[in-house]
Amino acid sequence: MSGFLTTHVLDTARGYPAAGLKIDLYRINGDAREHVIRLETNADGRTDQQILPASQFELGQYELVFHAGEYLLATGQAGPEPKFLDVIPIRFGMALNDHYHVPLLLSPYGYSTYRGS
């Protein structure tokens, strides 16, 4: 397989990459979630390595879990408790042997994602 998975997290409220945001990847099989890896974004809002490199790439359903609440708290943007955004799960399928890029545009009260390039 030559597919792989990456992300890029941008803090749209501050206009900067979201550095230091923890991300977990899970492989989904029916009702089971298998933890694959935990990474953290660097100063550019990306992970230092591919989230799922070609050597570990498998077609199927996955979930990226972005720990936004911790990041927003660390950057002084969390707001009152309970936080409006805390853990952001994004479940998606990888059906092609290709590069999948799942970015996150984040602010304290909203987020969006898409399949990037």
18-47 per-position pLDDT tens digit: 999 999 999 999 999 999 999 999 999 999
- Token look-up 């999948």 returns 100
Given a cut of 80, whether residue 105 has pLDDT beyond it is: yes
Q: Is the pLDDT at 81 greater than 90, yes or no?
A: yes
Cβ(73)–Cβ(50) below 8 Å: no
- Cβ neighbours of 60 (radius 10 Å): 11
User: pLDDT tens across 49-80, in order?
Assistant: 999 999 999 999 999 999 999 999 999 999 99
Burial (CB count <10 Å: 0-12, 13-18, 19+), residue 110: exposed
pLDDT at position 86, please? 97
Report pTM: 0.96
Q: How far apart are CA 25 and CA 23, in angstroms?
A: 7
Please give the average per-residue pLDDT across 1-28, as a whole number: 96
pLDDT at res. 2: 83
Indicate if the pLDDT at residue 1 is higher than 70: no
Name the phi and psi angles at 84, rounded to 5.
-65, -45
